[in-house]
């Protein structure tokens, strides 16, 4: 049976498919809302659909997607274990960078996906996704390092396509992926600890009167 969260995620996808909030829909073939289970512990956020993704309406189905599957296999995960999406849901023409106003227009979709899925770890695999949580950082300095933001951790990583162009980055990405199981466990421990922490008692009535 479909859970409520899966149904809500599907509803977001339906709305993304008819989205006209920026101009990208005009030149795209298909929107690419993203895919994966509603209870995914890991969410990966890329830049935007490329040629093949635009053709098929699915994220990371081209060469970098294949490499991503290999990276996941190193940590015994499959694509179907993670939720994968992009900062912009329609392909920018000729794979140009998305413009700030396009990222901003698309942001509510990503916000809703994050709020519904409540991942333990968000892996940013594009500089535009990274910029949201690490606006002044360089990927070369922070890749593979986790930083907590409220209920989830964010781990910036190199884009798989970058490693296909620069073979030196391949082992770096593999090592960064190998850190993910520990980060997920850390995130789980942190949320268990906060669930168990004794709730602050209400101040006694006398004290309340003072304010």
Residue selected from 16, 42, 64, 163 as contacting ligand URA according to rule CB under 6 A: 64
Q: Which range of residues in 52-60, 101-109, 137-145, 180-188 is near ligand URA by CB under 6 A?
A: 52-60
Between the CA of residue 84 and those of 81, 193, 196, what are the distances in Å? 10, 28, 31
**Closer CB to ligand URA, 49 or 187, in the complex:** 49
126-155 residues in contact with ligand URA (CB under 6 A) are 126
CB of 164 to ligand URA, least distance (A): 11
Interaction between residue 113 and ligand URA (CB under 6 A): no
Residue nearest to ligand URA (CB): 46
d(CA 174, CA 70): 9
Tokens standing for residue 123: 């892996």
Residue selected from 35, 41, 53, 176 as contacting ligand URA according to rule CB under 6 A: 53
CB of 9 to ligand URA, least distance (A): 17
Interaction between residue 98 and ligand URA (CB under 6 A): no
Widest CA span in the chain: 68
Interaction between residue 59 and ligand URA (CB under 6 A): yes
Residue 22 is given by DSSP the state S
**Closer CB to ligand URA, 86 or 152, in the complex:** 86
The label of the residue with tokens 């669930």 reads 195
Residue 156 exposure: Cα atoms within 13 Å on the Cβ side: 20
Cβ distance 73 to 82 under 8 Å? Answer: no
**Closer CB to ligand URA, 92 or 144, in the complex:** 92
Please tell me the count of residues contacting ligand URA according to CB under 6 A. 11
Interaction between residue 86 and ligand URA (CB under 6 A): yes
List Cβ<8 Å contacts ≥24 apart for 60-68: 60/84, 60/160, 63/161, 63/164, 64/159, 64/160, 64/161, 64/164, 65/160, 67/160, 67/161, 67/163, 67/164, 68/44, 68/125, 68/160
By the criterion CB under 6 A, which residues form the site for ligand URA? 46-50, 53, 59-60, 64, 86, 126
């Amino acid at each position: 049976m479909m859970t409520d969260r899966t149904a809500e995620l599907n509803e977001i996808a339906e709305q993304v498919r008819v989205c006209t909030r920026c101009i990208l829909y005009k030149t795209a073939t298909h929107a690419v809302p993203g895919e994966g289970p509603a209870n995914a512990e890991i969410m990966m956020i890329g830049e935007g659909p490329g040629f093949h993704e635009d053709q098929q309406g699915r994220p990371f189905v081209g060469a970098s997607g294949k490499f991503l599957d290999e990276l996941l296999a190193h940590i015994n995960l499959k694509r179907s274990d993670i939720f994968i999406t992009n900062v912009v849901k329609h392909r920018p023409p000729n794979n140009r960078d998305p413009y700030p106003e396009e990222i901003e227009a698309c942001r509510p979709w990503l916000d809703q996906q994050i709020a519904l899925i409540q991942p333990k770890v968000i892996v940013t695999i594009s500089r535009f996704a990274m910029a949201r949580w690490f606006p002044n950082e360089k990927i070369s300095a922070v890749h593979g390092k986790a930083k907590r933001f409220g209920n989830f951790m964010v781990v910036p990583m190199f884009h798989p396509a970058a490693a296909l162009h620069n073979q030196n980055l391949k082992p770096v990405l593999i090592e960064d992926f190998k850190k993910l199981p520990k980060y997920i466990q850390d995130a789980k421990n942190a949320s268990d600890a906060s669930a168990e922490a004794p709730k602050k008692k209400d101040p006694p009535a006398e004290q309340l009167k003072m304010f």
